Amino acid sequence: GTIDDPQERQSYVDELESNSTTLTSLVNGILDLSKIESGTTHFTYSDFDISYVCHDMFDSEQTTNNNKDIQYVLELSDEHLDVYSDMQRIAQVTQILLKNAKRFTEKGKITMRTERSDNFAKVSVIDTGVGIAENELDNLFQRYFRTDENKSVDGTGLNLSLCRAIIVVLGGEIG
C-alpha cells in the first residue's frame, strides 16, 4: 500500500537512509580492514608535521559539534613533530578517534594532544565520556568489539580495529 501521511512517509525514508548509511559504513569498514590485513592496500608515505594533520581533523570535528556541553581542547606541541608516514591514513585514524570520543561523551571535555615521546610523535585523544571497564580494555581494538554498557550507541565495532591495523602497518603503536 501507499503511505498518505507525508510525515510518516518521511520518517520511513529517514530510517531507510540511516540504515543504508550504517550498512555502507560496515561494508566499507570490512573491506578496508581486510585489504590492510592482507597487504593489498597501498600506503603513500611522505614527510609532514603530524600536528598539522591533527589540527585540521580537530577543527573539522569541532566545527560539526552541535553539543554545547562538550568543550574541545587542542594542545599541540611547540616543536615540529615531523614524521614519515601516510598523511591520509593518519588523518583517518585521528578522525575516527575524535568521532569515537564525541560519540561517547555527552558532557565534558575532549582533548587532542600532540607531543614528542622519545623518538616518536605521540597523539592522544582524551575524553571525559563514559569510559571503558578495566576488564574490557584488552578487547578494545578487536573486530566488532562493543562494551556491554555502550551497545545502545550507534556503531559497528570496526573503527578501532581499523585504527590499529593502520597504525601497525605504519610502524606505530596504539593503545
- Residue 121 has what pLDDT? 92
| Sequence letter at residue 98 | L
User: Per-residue pLDDT tens for 41-89?
Assistant: 889 999 999 999 999 999 998 888 777 888 999 999 988 899 999 999 9
Mean pLDDT for 13-33 is 77
Residue 115 has pLDDT above 90, yes or no: yes
Q: Record the cell numbers describing residue 162, joined without a space.
A: 581499523
User: Per-residue pLDDT tens for 5-16?
Assistant: 888 878 878 788
Burial state string for 122-157 with b = 16 or more CB within 10 A and e = fewer than 16: ebebebbbeeeeeeeeeeebebeeebeebeeeebbb
**Of all residues in the chain, what percent are helix, strand and coil, respectively (each to 5)?**
50, 20, 35
What is the chain's length? 175
- Residue 114 has what pLDDT? 94
Split at pLDDT 50, 70, 90, the class of 92 is: very high
Tell me which DSSP letter residue 79 carries: S
| Sequence letter at residue 14 | D
* Structural contact between residues 136 and 123, judged by C-beta atoms closer than 8 angstroms: no
Tell me which DSSP letter residue 64 carries: T
* Structural contact between residues 123 and 113, judged by C-beta atoms closer than 8 angstroms: yes
- Residue 158 has what pLDDT? 77
Predicted structure pTM score: 0.78
User: Per-residue pLDDT tens for 117-152?
Assistant: 888 899 999 999 877 767 666 666 666 555 655 555
Who contacts 132 (Cβ-Cβ below 8 Å, separation ≥6)?
Answer: 140, 147
Residue 38 has pLDDT above 70, yes or no: yes
